[in-house]
Amino acid sequence: MNLLALLFIPLLTALLILLERRPMQVRWLALAGSSVQLLASILLYFGYRKAALADPSTPFLFRERYSWYPDWNIGLHVGVDGISVAMIMLTAFVVVAGVLVSWKVEKMTGSFFFLLILLSLGAYGFFISLDLFTMFFFLELAVIPKFLLIGIWGSGDKAYSANKLALMLMGGSALILVAILALYVSAPAGERTFDMLQLAGREIPVDVQRFIFPCMFLGFGVFTAIFPFHTWVPDGHSSAPTAGSMFLAGISMKLGGYGCLRAATWLMPEGAKAYGDIIIVLAAIAIIYGAFATMMQKDLKYINAYSSVSHCGFVLLGIGMLTKTAITGAVFQMVSHGLMTALFFAVIGMIYERTHTRLVAEMGGLMKVMPFITTVMFIAGLSSLGLPGFSGFVAEMTVFVGGWEREAGFYRVATIIACMSIVVTAVYVLRAIGRTMMGPLDASSFGDLKDADWHEKMAAFVLIAGILAMGLAPFWLNELVAPGTDLIVKKIGQLP
Which positions lie near other proteins, rule CB under 8 A? 68-72, 108, 133, 137-138, 140-141, 143-144, 147-148, 151-152, 158-159, 162-163, 166-167, 170-171, 174-175, 177-178, 181-182, 184-185, 189, 211
Q: Which is nearer to other proteins, 7 or 32 (CB)?
A: 7
Smallest distance, other proteins to C-beta of residue 41, A: 23
Smallest distance, other proteins to C-beta of residue 187, A: 11
The count of other CB atoms within 10 Å of the CB of residue 56 is: 9
- H helix runs in 388-473, sequence order: 391-404, 409-437, 443-446, 454-472
CA gap 76, 394 in Å, rounded = 35
CA gap 21, 151 in Å, rounded = 21
Smallest distance, other proteins to C-beta of residue 393, A: 39
Q: Which is nearer to other proteins, 131 or 396 (CB)?
A: 131
Q: Which is nearer to other proteins, 228 or 371 (CB)?
A: 228
CA gap 134, 140 in Å, rounded = 10
Q: Which is nearer to other proteins, 182 or 469 (CB)?
A: 182
CA gap 6, 11 in Å, rounded = 9
CA gap 457, 214 in Å, rounded = 43
Q: Which is nearer to other proteins, 1 or 144 (CB)?
A: 144
Give the angle subtended at the CA of 391 by the CAs of 113 and 306, to the nearest 5°: 65
Smallest distance, other proteins to C-beta of residue 239, A: 11
H or E element at residue 81? none
Smallest distance, other proteins to C-beta of residue 267, A: 17
Smallest distance, other proteins to C-beta of residue 277, A: 24
Smallest distance, other proteins to C-beta of residue 421, A: 32
Are 344 and 256 in contact by the 8 Å Cβ rule? The answer is no
Q: Which is nearer to other proteins, 209 or 294 (CB)?
A: 209
Distant-in-sequence, close-in-space partners of 83: CB < 8 Å, separation ≥ 6: 258, 261, 262, 331, 481, 484, 485
The whole-angstrom distance between residue 419's C-alpha and the CA centroid of its chain comes to 22
Whole-Å CA distances, 424 to 66, 290, 307, 324: 49, 10, 10, 27
Q: Which is nearer to other proteins, 259 or 329 (CB)?
A: 259
